[in-house]
Amino acid sequence: MTEKIVLASTSPFRRQLLENAGISVEAVAPEVDERVVEAPLENAGVSPEDVALILAEAKAVDVSERHPHALVIGCDQTLSLGDRVFHKPKDMEGARRHLLDLSGKTHQLNSAIVLARAGQPIWRHLSQGSLTMRKLDPGFIGRHLSQVGEKALSSVGAYQVEGPGIQLFTKIEGDYFTIIGLPLLPLLEKLREEGAIDG
């Protein structure tokens, strides 16, 4: 019998990605305050890539300690523009500022996955995507945000490339699943290797 797989996330989107791939998962909310974990990292100059890995590990380990007989998947994604790390906007004004700051520039999405078993991390993976946003007119940004509404607050960049957010870009480099926050192909390979899914 294959091992139970738990997703340390409340993201219905990540759960749907796994279920679409034929993987049965239980979703459990991690009890991790991301801002509390991140604050000392930013002051210490930790890279956006490592921030994503540290947060993914914190979530995986937290849930794994409460579900020691399952294989737990923790994920996190950071958005970086140079040395600046973006967080999910708190409100629509924050979303507007995000899009103004990203307009006409190329930013990175850093998508991390950590697997944990019995409270211990057993595998870490980071994939990156590079996205070039076209120069956006402030009026267009306002119209775009009123079209997408509160969904803009659910992602670090205030956009969803799987929806109307694709219109914001001139170029996207990287694996689709990495861009949307769960590098699925390396994860599936590791789950097969661990005997958690049929291989």
Residue 74 is part of which domain span? 5-193
Q: Which of 76, 83, 137, 198 is catalytic?
A: 76
Residue 198, domain member (yes or no):
no
Mean of pLDDT values over 123-128 = 98
Which pLDDT score, from 0 to 100, does residue 43 have? Answer: 81
Residue 177 is assigned to a structural domain of this protein:
yes
Domain-located, residue 199: no
Residue type, 91: D
Predicted confidence (pLDDT) per residue in 74-114, tens digit: 999 999 998 888 988 999 999 999 999 999 999 999 999 99
Q: What is the tens place of the pLDDT at every residue in 27-83?
A: 999 999 988 898 888 888 899 999 999 999 999 999 999 999 999 999 999 999 988
> For the chain, where are the E strands, in sequence order?
5-7, 26-27, 71-81, 84-86, 106-117, 120-133, 169-173
Chain mean position to CA 64: 19
Asked if residues 95 and 158 have their Cβ atoms less than 8 Å apart, the reply is yes
- CATH number of the domain encompassing residue 9: 3.90.950.10
115 CA to centre of own chain: 15
Residue 33: how many CB atoms within 10 A of its CB?
10
Q: Does the annotation count 76 as an active-site position? A: yes
The domain tally of the chain equals 1
